[in-house]
């Protein structure tokens, strides 16, 4: 039985997108969770379960002095443990040096205003310079510390599933991704040794590694992540895998790669969410990118409009689903007519219970009020339906749309200026990951071809040609020069990022300047 | 009216003049008319002729419009056919046969139809593969961008594509089967000296000696000044700066630019007919203003790309208090030498508006009651430029401080100077360490392959770092203009003036730097390469850490316990 609105809408969302995405999870945490999962399967993209790691001693050591829980306690390494550690390293100053080094590796999370997120040590993370720096979110449970899913909310697990399904019949691609990530996460061996010996001293033994977390399971399992059954063969997943594989081709170390991965993964998850929100198979999702950094109001507006349109898709999809569920719960006309009087008499135990809205508190009043005014099936399907929908969609607005906004912001795909709405923009990192996942290392394609490719593939609209084709130009009623300038601005941006070479004759080629990373060259 | 025919000749290069089109080979080639012609000898001409004579093989010439590709095609044609080409055939392709060989000359690849391009390039690829069984050698003039784009569109041209790409990246890969010569690699400063010397020859200007308006002729003033040895040298120096920055100016752009430096866009008639208002206008076009395109009409700017680039190294926009003080108060400094210098520089010639500047200066200093006097704005930029070119000697006034690059001198001194190279290594290492870590790292003797996360992947001793000088080229006019930083015989970083300046500024403690955007990618790629080849020691962890006493980041080592 559904307990409250939150669960109500999250259940809806699970049906559409899978179990589950939340707005608590930040962009980098999708990647971190995914990498945790992957390491927990020993780099196997087809595993029914995975193991997690707490590394409590190590984390207490690194984050000593950081807040613990909401009560403003501070985390402290136990004296006995401290003593052993100092004895082992034999130099107090060195201990500090080591701590400082690791603290410097913390993944920063800032909000839209640049303010740092206020996180307990339970949920602080490090750049995965080596797989040994990966650990799962935890939380105090009674006297012990157990796993938690506030920020590692399953987005990473779902991404794992997408890659897994996307490589189902593509063994070579699957192996390639596994191998490349393994090479990347195991390169810095010196870290492994030092982290290993700290963990050993502090008692983070292997035994805390659980091996029983369900992952890719065929039967229904509440504890497992799941994608909706009708999307398992979504062609997007294969595309995601190919893009990821190509990005991993370039020769940069994990520190740099992590930024690019965050951008790519966030973008992919966002595309998945949009894709599932389509009501018609050939709905076209358009992203109009404002490449002028919000300097031009008109461009900003078009961009914000496409963002809003895409949010509308999500809302509509929700409503569609909600309607179905509402219908199935109240039954047919006869059923309504039979029950309406009973519902009206004691709404709390009948109607609210049926709809799963018993925990609504103050917001149940409008529902009850509307219910009492209903006289027939028609009233129920219009007035009552709308009231209940409003109550539920309130929550939806706050959380479900937020997921996409967070992905947009943390992935560098969208943002807002104060006083304006969300719009699509491209951060340098996003631009890089876009080029690297579409252009092979050490090769190039022409700028106009690139624009056309990203239009066809993703629905990105930037320049003149695509604005015309997509009717954005027509509908905007703007002078074509706005689109020209937008296109030129992107070109400038690419140039500044070393991704575009301009020749004297106005030919411009987009270029991936990196070599293929050597350790993982496929035959 | 007196008129100098040579000034008419220069007028052809004036982009706003009706005579302008004459300098385009494609349009006219006029032998009949008796006119001044001159030729700059270029290495590429000789190289091409030798190549076809001795080891004939196919050549692709690339470069911008104006680099002289068409002219070179014509030259090869005329030489081997022993006849002058009247006009290009409409097809744009012409065959020349000599000693059983045929040179098939394609004057401009991008003018041709797609099918034709494909046909010719396929033939070229076939001929190379068959080692020229057919004895047909190509000489193709093309544009780098269009060529690359075209080749990347056809899979069956991939052999040619690779051959072209390899040679683009490194001209030393040119061999006896196929050459790609990129005229963008020509260092323009080589020709500037030649052109100035040639154009300023006394015989070109002899007809001026009787001209009654000579004293108020800005063209003559420019000729006169730029003939002076130290000024000519400094003009060449400005062009040399573009070489250092890796910016290429085409031959045509350079000729247009130098002609403009001399004439300011005027001809003899303009000077003769000038009333006092026009004369005032003309007085504002001395060579040091023209070089940077001061006061030029907007339409001309699009044609003169050189001006845009020179705008970035304009010495007029930088205020150095010592130099500005000399300009404003040098004549009353109390030091006889300085006063003499000032009087000599700011005299009563045409560019000083016949002494009007001096008068204005006195007025400004003695009677400056009105605050809206724009005297300074009107003159100071111009006079800084004048000072930059005309002041004699480098000792008293450090004129080079007016350049936006502080380390040009050091950069220039590195050429041919092993001692200086060895000294500079340490400074570059420090700059690189700071660029990699984005931290103020204390000066160290080792180059550390690190990132913002401060983990050192590997370190290179100062001796493993070599500054190599670029080689002078034999096939085209290219003098060494940059360096290659070599690390452990494996990784290379091309070091031009902007990167050098950036690293030297980091080394001296600067943190924010406008050059960042230009160089960051280069440094990042270099860093990633270093990290890639690193072979970390599993038993020690080397890091950079903050040292509270020094206030800088230092190297530290953590032994695995």
pLDDT tens digits along A292-342? 988 899 999 999 999 999 999 998 888 888 888 888 888 888 888 888 888
Which of B250, B436, B492, B532 to probe the A interface (max A CBs under 10 A)? B532
| Residue A95 sits at the chain B interface (C-beta within 8 Å) | no
Q: Residue B365: what pLDDT?
A: 85
Q: Which residues of A touch B452 (CB under 8 A)?
A: 255
| Residue A514 sits at the chain B interface (C-beta within 8 Å) | yes
- pLDDT at position B32 over 70: no
Helix (H) or strand (E) holding A73: strand A73-74
Q: Which residues pair with B486 in a beta bridge?
A: B466, B492
Q: Residue A356: what pLDDT?
A: 73
Q: Which of A396, A398, A405 is nearest to A8 (CA)?
A: A396
Contact check, Cβ <8 Å, A190/B539 = yes
Q: Which residues of B touch A450 (CB under 8 A)?
A: none
Nearest CA in chain B to A446: B149
Q: With 0.90 as the threshold, say if the pTM is over it.
A: no
Return d(Cα A283, Cα A475) in angstroms, integer. 17
Q: Which residues pair with A73 in a beta bridge?
A: A68
Helix (H) or strand (E) holding B11: helix B5-11
| Residue B272 sits at the chain A interface (C-beta within 8 Å) | no
- pLDDT at position A147 over 70: yes
Percent of chain A past pLDDT 70, that is, above it, reads 95
Length of chain B: 561
Number of neighbouring beta carbons within 10 Å of residue B338: 17
| Residue B152 sits at the chain A interface (C-beta within 8 Å) | yes
Q: Residue A318: what pLDDT?
A: 84
> Which residue among A88, A97, A498 sits closest to B545, beta carbon to beta carbon?
A97
Q: Which residues of A touch B451 (CB under 8 A)?
A: 253, 255-256
Return d(Cα A38, Cα A50) in angstroms, integer. 8
Task: Note the pLDDT tens digit of each residue in B262-272.
Answer: 999 899 999 99
Q: Residue A12: what pLDDT?
A: 80
Tokens matching residue A227: 């994608």
| Residue A444 sits at the chain B interface (C-beta within 8 Å) | yes
- pLDDT at position B28 over 60: no
Which residues numbered 493-512 in A keep a CB inside 8 Å of some CB on B?
496-498, 501-509
Return d(Cα A147, Cα A55) in angstroms, integer. 12
Tell which wins on pLDDT, A514 or B288.
B288
Contact check, Cβ <8 Å, B453/A445 = no
How many contiguous H segments (helices) and E segments (strands) does chain B have?
24, 13
Nearest-CA distance B535 → chain A (Å)? 9
Residue A142 has, within 13 A of its CA and on its CB side, a CA count of 1
Q: Residue B323: what pLDDT?
A: 93
Nearest CA in chain B to A191: B541
> Which residue among A197, A505, A506 sits closest to B560, beta carbon to beta carbon?
A197
Nearest CA in chain A to B524: A252
pLDDT (mean) for A269-287:
90
| Cα B16 → chain centroid | 24
What secondary structure letter does DSSP report for B94? Answer: E
Contact check, Cβ <8 Å, A188/B539 = no
- pLDDT at position A518 over 70: no
Task: Note the pLDDT tens digit of each residue in B36-86.
Answer: 667 788 899 999 999 999 999 999 999 888 888 888 999 999 999 988 888
Q: Which residues of B touch A191 (CB under 8 A)?
A: 455, 541
Nearest-CA distance A138 → chain B (Å)? 25
Which of A507, A513, A518 to probe the B interface (max B CBs under 10 A)? A507
Percent of chain A past pLDDT 90, that is, above it, reads 48
- pLDDT at position B520 over 60: yes
> Which residue among A98, A189, A514 sits closest to B538, beta carbon to beta carbon?
A189
| Residue B438 sits at the chain A interface (C-beta within 8 Å) | no
Number of neighbouring beta carbons within 10 Å of residue A395: 17
Interior/surface letters B229-263, b for 16+ CB within 10 angstroms, e for the rest: eebbebbbbbbbbbbbbbbbbbbbbbbbbbbbbbb
Task: Show contacts of A468-471: CB within 8 Å, 24+ apart.
Answer: A470/A284, A470/A286
pLDDT (mean) for A58-67:
91
Q: Which residues of B touch A105 (CB under 8 A)?
A: 453
Instruction: Tell me if ipTM is over 0.90.
Output: no
> Which residue among B528, B540, B545 sits closest to A190, beta carbon to beta carbon?
B540
| Residue B23 sits at the chain A interface (C-beta within 8 Å) | no
DSSP secondary structure of B402-414:
GSS-TTHHHHHHH
- pLDDT at position A1 over 70: no
Q: Which residues pair with A214 in a beta bridge?
A: A49
Tokens matching residue B396: 């008293």
Nearest CA in chain B to A129: B453
Contact check, Cβ <8 Å, A101/B560 = no
CA distances from B439 to A193, A227, A264, B434, B500 (A): 26, 45, 28, 5, 19
Residue B76 main-chain phi, psi, to 5 deg: -65, -40
Return d(Cα A286, Cα A293) in angstroms, integer. 19
Q: Residue A473: what pLDDT?
A: 93
Residues A427 and A443 sit within 8 Å (Cβ to Cβ): no
Residues A385 and A326 sit within 8 Å (Cβ to Cβ): yes
Task: Note the pLDDT tens digit of each residue in B306-324.
Answer: 777 888 889 998 999 999 9
Task: Note the pLDDT tens digit of each residue in B421-477.
Answer: 999 999 999 999 999 999 999 998 899 999 999 999 999 999 999 999 999 999 999
Nearest-CA distance B528 → chain A (Å)? 6
Which of A504, A507, A521 to probe the B interface (max B CBs under 10 A)? A504
Return d(Cα A98, Cα A88) in angstroms, integer. 13
Nearest CA in chain B to A432: B521
> Which residue among B145, B455, B539 sits closest to A193, beta carbon to beta carbon?
B539
């Amino acid at each position: 039985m559904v307990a409250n609105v939150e669960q109500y809408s999250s259940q809806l969302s699970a049906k559409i997108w899978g179990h589950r995405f939340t707005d608590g999870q930040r962009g980098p945490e999708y990647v971190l969770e995914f990498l945790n999962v992957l390491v927990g399967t020993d780099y196997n993209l087809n595993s029914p379960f995975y193991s997690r790691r707490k590394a409590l001693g190590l984390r207490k050591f690194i984050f000593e002095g950081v807040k613990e829980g909401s009560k403003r306690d501070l985390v402290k390494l136990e004296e006995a443990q401290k003593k052993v550690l100092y004895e082992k390293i034999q130099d107090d100053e060195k201990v500090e040096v080591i701590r400082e080094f690791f603290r410097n590796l913390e993944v920063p999370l800032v909000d839209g205003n640049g303010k740092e997120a206020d996180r307990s040590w339970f949920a602080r993370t490090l750049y995965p310079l080596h797989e040994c720096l990966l650990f799962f979110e935890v939380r105090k449970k009674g006297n012990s510390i157990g796993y938690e899913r506030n920020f590692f909310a399953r987005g990473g697990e779902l991404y794992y599933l997408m890659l897994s399904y996307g490589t189902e019949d593509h063994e070579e691609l699957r192996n390639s991704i596994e191998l490349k990530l393994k090479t990347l996460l195991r390169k810095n061996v010196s870290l492994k040794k030092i982290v290993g010996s700290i963990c050993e001293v502090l008692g983070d033994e292997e035994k805390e590694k659980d091996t029983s977390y369900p992952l890719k399971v065929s039967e229904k399992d509440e504890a497992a992540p799941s994608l909706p059954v009708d999307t398992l063969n979504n062609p997007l997943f294969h595309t995601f895998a190919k893009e990821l594989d190509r990005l991993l081709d370039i020769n940069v170390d994990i520190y740099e790669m992590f930024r690019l991965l965050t951008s790519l993964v966030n973008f992919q998850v966002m595309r998945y969410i949009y894709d599932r929100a389509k009501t018609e198979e050939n709905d076209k999702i358009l992203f109009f990118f404002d490449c002028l950094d919000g300097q031009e109001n008109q461009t900003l507006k078009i961009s914000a409009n496409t963002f809003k349109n895409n949010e509308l898709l999500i809302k509509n999809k929700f409503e569609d689903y909600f309607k179905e569920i509402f219908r199935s719960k109240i039954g047919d006309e006869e059923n309504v007519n039979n029950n309406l009087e009973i519902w009206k008499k004691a709404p709390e135990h009948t109607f609210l219970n049926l709809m799963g809205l018993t925990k609504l508190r103050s917001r149940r009043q409008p529902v009850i009020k509307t219910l009492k005014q209903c006289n027939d099936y028609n009233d129920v399907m219009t007035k009552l339906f709308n009231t209940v929908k409003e109550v539920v969609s309130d929550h939806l607005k706050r959380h479900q749309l937020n997921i996409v906004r967070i992905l947009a912001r943390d992935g560098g795909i969208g943002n807002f200026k104060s006083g304006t709405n969300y719009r699509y923009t491209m951060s340098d990192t996003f631009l890089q990951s876009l080029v690297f996942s579409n252009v092979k290392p050490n090769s190039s394609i022409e700028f106009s071809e690139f624009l056309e490719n990203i239009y066809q593939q993703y629905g990105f609209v930037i320049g003149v040609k695509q604005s015309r084709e997509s009717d954005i130009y027509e509908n905007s009623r703007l002078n074509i020069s706005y689109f020209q300038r937008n296109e030129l601005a992107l070109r400038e941006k690419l140039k500044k990022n070393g991704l575009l070479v301009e020749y004297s004759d106005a030919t411009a080629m987009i270029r991936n300047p990196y070599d293929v990373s050597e350790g993982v060259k496929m035959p | 009216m007196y008129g100098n025919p040579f000034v008419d000749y220069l007028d052809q290069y004036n982009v706003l003049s009706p005579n302008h089109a004459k300098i385009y080979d494609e349009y006219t080639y006029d032998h009949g008319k008796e006119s001044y012609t001159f030729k700059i000898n270029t290495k590429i001409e000789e190289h091409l002729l030798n190549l076809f004579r001795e080891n004939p093989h196919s050549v692709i010439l690339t470069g911008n419009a104006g680099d002289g590709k068409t002219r070179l095609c014509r030259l090869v044609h005329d030489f081997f056919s022993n006849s002058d080409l009247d006009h290009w055939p409409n097809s744009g392709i012409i065959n020349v046969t000599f000693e059983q060989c045929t040179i098939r000359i394609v004057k401009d690849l991008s003018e041709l139809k797609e099918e034709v391009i494909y046909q010719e390039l396929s033939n070229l690829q076939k001929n190379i593969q068959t080692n020229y069984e057919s004895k047909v050698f190509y000489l193709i003039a093309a544009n780098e961008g269009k060529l690359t784009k075209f080749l990347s569109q056809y899979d069956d041209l991939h052999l040619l594509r690779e051959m072209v790409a390899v040679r683009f990246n490194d001209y030393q890969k040119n061999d006896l089967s196929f050459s790609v010569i990129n005229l963008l690699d020509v260092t323009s400063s080589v020709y500037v000296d030649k052109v100035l010397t040639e154009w300023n020859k006394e015989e070109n200007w002899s007809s001026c000696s009787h001209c009654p308006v000579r004293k108020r002729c800005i063209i003559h003033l420019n000729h006169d000044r730029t003939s002076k040895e130290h000024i000519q040298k400094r003009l060449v120096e400005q062009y040399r700066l573009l070489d250092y920055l890796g910016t290429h100016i085409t031959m045509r752009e350079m000729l247009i630019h130098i002609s403009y430096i001399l004439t300011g866009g005027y001809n003899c008639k303009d000077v003769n007919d000038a009333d006092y208002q026009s004369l005032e206008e003309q007085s504002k076009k001395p060579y040091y203003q023209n070089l940077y395109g001061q006061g030029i009409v907007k339409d001309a700017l699009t044609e003169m790309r050189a001006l845009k680039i020179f705008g970035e190294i304009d010495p007029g926009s930088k205020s150095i208090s010592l130099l500005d003080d000399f300009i404003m108060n040098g004549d009353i400094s109390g030091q006889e030498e300085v006063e003499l210098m000032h009087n000599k520089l700011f005299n009563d010639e045409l560019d000083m508006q016949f002494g009007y500047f001096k008068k204005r200066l006195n007025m400004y200093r003695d009677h400056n009651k009105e605050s809206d006097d724009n005297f300074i704005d009107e003159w100071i930029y111009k006079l800084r430029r004048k000072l930059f070119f005309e002041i004699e000697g480098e000792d008293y006034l450090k004129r080079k401080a007016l350049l936006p690059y502080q380390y040009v001198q050091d950069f220039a001194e590195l050429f041919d100077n092993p001692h200086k190279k060895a000294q500079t290594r340490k400074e570059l290492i420090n700059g690189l360490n700071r660029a990699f870590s984005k931290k103020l790292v204390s000066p160290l003797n080792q180059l550390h392959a690190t990132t913002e996360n401060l983990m050192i992947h590997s370190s290179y001793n100062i001796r493993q770092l070599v500054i190599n000088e670029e080689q002078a080229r034999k096939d085209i006019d290219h003098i060494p203009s940059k360096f290659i930083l070599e690390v452990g015989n494996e990784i290379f970083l091309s070091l031009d003036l902007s990167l050098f300046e950036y690293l030297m500024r980091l080394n001296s403690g600067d943190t924010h730097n406008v050059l960042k955007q230009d160089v960051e990618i280069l440094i990042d790629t270099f860093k990633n390469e270093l990290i890639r080849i690193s072979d970390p020691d599993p038993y020690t962890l080397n890091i950079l850490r903050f040292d509270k006493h020094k206030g800088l980041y230092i190297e530290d080592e953590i032994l695995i316990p």
